[in-house]
Structure 1
Amino acid sequence: MLGPVTTSDPLLTDRTPLPDGLDARLRDHLTFLIEVDKLKTVLRASPLAAADRRENDAEHSWHLALMVMVLAEYADEPIDVGHTIKLVVVHDLVEIYAGDTPIYDTEAGVTQVEREEAAAERLFGLLPADAGVALRALWDEFEARETPEARFAKAMDRLQPLLLNWMAQGGTWRTPGVTADDVRARKAVIGEASKALWDAGRHLIDEGERRGWARQV
């Protein structure tokens, strides 16, 4: 199980401090932007389609942003594409400190909310107060899924690894103990934003089960 967020871990800028003479507000912005470079080191469970390795969180977030642009026409409700892109770009930043919680890891899921809340406090607190509040609001909106944009953003977050697992001929669907019904249950949130995309996603899962890429029982 993933442990608690370590708030005493050094910032990247502690290694090479920014020079004196910078505007204080700009210094905070730059400190945050350097710190989030850590997102590139957070590995996810999903395999890449184009290479024999796992994807990282930064790659995942970029892919979601592009998916929002390409698939917005399939949203059941009108969405602000630009705002939805903001949501998917911000949604995994907390994993810099909280770590990725694989969707089928029920043990790690027990502490996920606690870890991510603590991570959000620390990470967004690096920014000037108003900027930190604004980014935190985007993260909270994504988590709450109360707006059309947040529901579509969450749908992309579930659809993207589904596509990667299809390309891997199972991928994390082959996690011990996980069945095709478990996959369907975890991915059903796609249907809250797009019937068309969930129909397609369910078709991929059904076909994956037929081919033996996901367990039936």
Structure 2
Amino acid sequence: METATLLKQIGFIKEIDKLKYITRKTRLFNSDRHENDAEHSWHLALMAIVLAGHSNKPIDVLKVVKMVLIHDIVEIDAGDTFIYDTAKNHTNTEEELRAAKRIFGLLPAEQASEFISIWEEFEAGHTNEAKFARSMDRLEPLLQNTSNNGGTWAEFNVGYQQVYDKKSVIKKGSEAIWEYAENLLKENVEKGILRK
């Protein structure tokens, strides 16, 4: 492998260390400490491997793992947008696309193109892999908030219907996991953790 290629890849590796400093609103399970984007991505990758058998359709697990590992890298530039934020829409923005091009553009052209393509596929959410990856992205904070007596739901006064609407994306990737999640939401309401 030529030196220029390796140097570009090392430059990218150094840049993505910044993901460890991007703090999310959600907290670790049974904890007061906020999760960072790197921890979130790592957790989703393992969840995807463990839960892949529950996907609605056959999936390329390695592709799903790639998606969840890189999906939030754009937040190095764009910052984390809270999913229940009413001021800033939690969708693919021009700001995120610019971030994707800059950060993934640090890689050699072929890898940069692959990473941007995988990131765009995740954001679009149309393929079986993207649907399952997005299911993992919505499931993890649900589990975290449940473990933290409401977590960000309580902190930001988020109600059941808002949570339900955001989490229902899970069923596109896995009906089985959605059934579990839906029951968990009901239990949270019954326990007074999530306001109806």
Matched, 1:169 2:149: yes
Look up the equivalent residue of 2:117 and give its one-letter code. Answer: A
Quick check: 2:92–2:123 contact (8 Å CA) kept in 1?
no
Report the AA paired with residue 46 of structure 2.
L
| Structure 1: gaps of 5 or more residues | 1-21
Q: Secondary structure at the match of 2:169?
A: helix
Q: Could you tell me which residue of structure 2 aligns to residue 16 of structure 1? A: none
Indicate the percent of aligned positions where both proteins have the same amino acid: 48
Q: Which residue, out of 138, 142, 146, partners 2:118? A: 138
| RMSD between aligned residues | 1.5
Kindly report structure 1 stretches of 4+ aligned residues shifted beyond 6 Å.
none
Q: 1:98 is matched with which residue?
A: 78
Query: Which residue pairs with 1:184 in the alignment?
Result: 164
Deviations 1:80-137 (A, max 9, x none): 1111111111111101111110101121227861221111121111111111101111
Give the superposition deviation at 1:23.
1.6
3-state secondary structure, aligned to 1:92 = coil
1:69 aligns to 2:60 (yes or no):
no
- Answer yes or no: is the 8 Å Cα contact 1:101–1:112 preserved in 2: no
Structure 2 unaligned spans of 5+: none
Q: Per-residue deviation at 1:211?
A: 1.3
Change (3 A) 1:111 1:154: closer
Deviation at 1:154, TM superposition (A): 0.3
Q: Give the superposition deviation at 1:25.
A: 1.6
Q: What residue is the counterpart of 1:58 in the other structure?
A: 38
Q: How far apart are the structure 2 equivalents of 1:24 and 1:80?
A: 31
Of residues 49-58 and 30-39 in structure 1, the stretch that sits farther from structure 2 once superposed is 49-58
Return the alpha-carbon distance in structure 2 between the equivalents of residues 120 and 133 of structure 1: 10
Give the Cα–Cα distance (whole angstroms) in 1 for the partners of residues 156 and 181 of structure 2. Answer: 22
User: What residue identity is the alignment partner of 2:136?
Assistant: M
Letter in 1 for 2:105: G
Structure-1 separation of matches of 2:186 and 2:159: 11
**Cα separation, 2, equivalents of 1:23 and 1:162:** 44
